[in-house]
């Protein structure tokens, strides 16, 4: 057995930190994400710094928000841990494809190669959707119920909003471009996350 002075120092799990420490880590994670977005917009060498910052901040935000939204201090389930790992890999791939590849689609000639380049950022999103489905199927019955209720509410809300915008555009009340469809998935994810947080708080699994 190692003497006290020679024992390796281990960092306590984030869920065991004080509430103030966890919230400071949440703020730091979001600040790093904003800095990464700023660097991505600048281009040049800052583009690569921004990609690195986003690659680090995305899993940090996901993990830190989990630690302040739930009172349970136990470790993540294997399904949640696997999803966090796959999420951490898919998001940097998404940013790389959008910034380094997708922008060239407009300068390419018409054809299958241009279409492939244009839809390339959807590939990591599809991978993330499969990972999310796998996480739900690997959760316990209560968590599956929470996930499915949040998905039902978010899908219904986004569908109603999409229909309303579609009718307004068809009636020439609003002039909408096709790229507005890029907001469907982020809005769906935001509504789902908000509803899921509310359900967990209501059931006593969130603080």
In a domain, 65, yes or no: no
In a domain, 150, yes or no: yes
In a domain, 109, yes or no: no
In a domain, 158, yes or no: yes
Domain count, the chain: 1
- pTM for this model (two decimals): 0.69
At a CB cut-off of 8 Å and minimum separation 6, what does 67 contact? Answer: 14, 15, 17, 22, 25, 26
DSSP string covering 77-135: PHHHHHHHHHHHHHHHHHHHIIIIIGGGGGGSPSSHHHHHHHHTTHHHHHHHHHHHHHH
In a domain, 177, yes or no: yes
In a domain, 95, yes or no: no
- Averaging pLDDT over each range in 48-57, 69-78, 118-127, which range is the top one? 118-127
pLDDT in tens, 166-180: 898 888 888 888 777
- Averaging pLDDT over each range in 25-29, 98-102, 123-127, which range is the top one? 123-127
> Do residues 54 and 36 make contact, with C-beta atoms less than 8 angstroms apart?
yes
Q: Collapsing DSSP states into helix, strand and coil, what is residue 184?
A: helix
Whether 71 shows a pLDDT value over 50: the answer reads: no
In a domain, 151, yes or no: yes
In a domain, 194, yes or no: yes
**pLDDT at position 159:** 93
- Locate 115 and state its tokens: 């279409």
Rounded CA gap, 75 and 80, in Å?
10
Q: How confident is the model at residue 43 (pLDDT cuts 50, 70, 90)?
A: low
- Locate 128 and state its tokens: 């993330």
- Locate 67 and state its tokens: 């630690």
Average pLDDT, the chain: 78
Q: Which domain holds residue 148?
A: 140-207
């Amino acid at each position: 057995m190692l003497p006290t002075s020679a024992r390796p120092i281990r960092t306590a799990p984030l869920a065991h930190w004080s509430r103030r420490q966890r919230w400071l880590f949440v703020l730091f994670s979001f600040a790093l994400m904003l800095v990464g977005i700023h660097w991505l917009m600048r281009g040049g060498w800052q583009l690569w710094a921004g990609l690195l910052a986003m690659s680090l901040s995305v899993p940090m935000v996901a993990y830190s928000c989990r630690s302040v939204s739930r009172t349970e201090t136990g470790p993540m389930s294997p399904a949640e841990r696997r999803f966090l790992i796959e999420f951490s890999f898919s998001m940097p791939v998404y940013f790389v494809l959008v910034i380094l590849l997708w922008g060239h689609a407009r300068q390419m000639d018409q054809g299958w190669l241009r279409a492939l380049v244009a839809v390339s950022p959807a590939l990591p999103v599809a991978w993330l959707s499969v990972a999310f489905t796998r996480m739900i199927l690997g959760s316990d019955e209560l968590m599956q119920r929470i996930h499915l209720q949040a998905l039902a509410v978010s899908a219904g809300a986004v569908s109603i909003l999409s229909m309303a915008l579609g009718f307004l555009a068809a009636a020439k009340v609003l002039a909408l471009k096709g790229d507005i469809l890029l907001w469907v998935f982020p809005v769906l994810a935001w509504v789902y996350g908000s509803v899921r947080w509310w359900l967990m708080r209501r059931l006593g699994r969130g603080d």
